Amino acid sequence: MGTFTGTRATSAAQAGTLYETTKMWIRMGGRAIDAAQNYLNEQEIGDAIADCIDEGIVTREELFVSSKLNNPYHREEHVRPALEKTLLDLRLDYVDMYLMHWPTAFVHVPFDGTKRGFPESYEPDCCTGVTGVNWDPEEFEKDWPPPHLDMGVTIHQTWNAMEQCADAGLARNIGVCNTKVTLLHELAKGGGRTPSVVQVECHPYNQQIGLLKYCRMNKIAFQPYSPLGYGAFKGDDEVTVLQNPVLGEIAKQHDKSTAQVVLRWHIQRGVNTCPFSLHENELRQNLSVGDWELSEEDMATIATIDKQFHYLRPDSWYGLPLWS
């Protein structure tokens, strides 16, 4: 289960939403939870996990909990404190997977590592206390580098600190998000640990064929996020994946929802996903896509609708055309 509900400025979720949703997910049999410090809701998730364990619904060992290193903590001296803050909020001794959320270092944003949760004034994407504003992509080109980017740290330095966290038992596995083949190859062949997983936007409109092939060749797990397409960032004139008529026709033929068809497509490609929903019926559907199959013809048809299209366009967030 994914756990992104939007930033504080855009989220429609009320306080306590992720607490209730996480408990519902675990009670219905869900065992994998994909969290991130950047989502500012790990405290709720941690309370839900702790309550489910206390109630005997699940054991810690049965859960697979992931979290992610936030951009302002890429310097080597900041990586472990950021993970320790995540563990405090999640009420865990370790995470099963720790991911570098973006290959983009921000200037440091201090936080109180002794308290659970973050104050309302904490906004890591806007670099609280540094600029405090949303980014204007046009200004990047006029005055480079933008003030929020930390130009003094490399991805290898960050990765080395993550390796140390794994060596210390704070993370069972480490990986990366939002990387292309070239950057992933740089890490995989850098002499240290090969990333256990790469998590990227992937759905029928963005099938990531080359990256998936590279991961298979190098025994790196490939995990799509936004596996159903990303409605929250869809432009007004853009069609969502779940509105695609080709997928709709395949769903009709199998008497399934379009979402179930897309999730089944991911599974038959040999990858695992982390779809998110706040609705019980949709969460249950997400757990019920393993008892039927798409035909080879269905898979071939879905392959034809790839647009190499990203709903997430981070140029205006980070000042870098990461997908170019």
Cα–Cα dist 5/26, whole Å: 18
Long-range Cβ contact pairs of 320-323 (< 8 A, separation 24 or more): 320/104, 320/149, 322/102, 322/103, 322/104, 322/178, 322/180, 323/180
Task: Say whether 64 sits in a helix, a strand or coil.
Answer: strand
CB 200 within 8 A of CB 273: no
Structure tokens at 164: 């140390």
Cβ(177)–Cβ(274) below 8 Å: no
Contacts of 296 (CB under 8 A, 6+ apart): none
Say which of 19, 39, 98, 214 is annotated catalytic: 39
Cβ–Cβ under 8 Å, residues 312 and 102: no
Q: Do 315 and 321 form a contact (C-beta atoms < 8 A)?
A: yes
Q: Count the helix, strand and coil residues of the chain and give each as a percent rounded to the nearest 5.
A: 45, 10, 45
Three-state DSSP at 105 gives: coil
Q: Using alpha carbons, select from 239, 90, 248 the residue that is nearest to residue 170.
A: 90
| Residues in CB range of 191: below 8 A, 6 or more apart | none
**CA pair distance 57, 30, nearest whole angstrom:** 11
In terms of DSSP bridges, do strands 32-34 and 64-69 run parallel, antiparallel, or are they unpaired?
A: parallel
Q: Is 214 a catalytic residue?
A: no
Rounded to whole angstroms, how far apart are CA atoms 324 and 229?
20
Residues annotated as part of the active site: 39
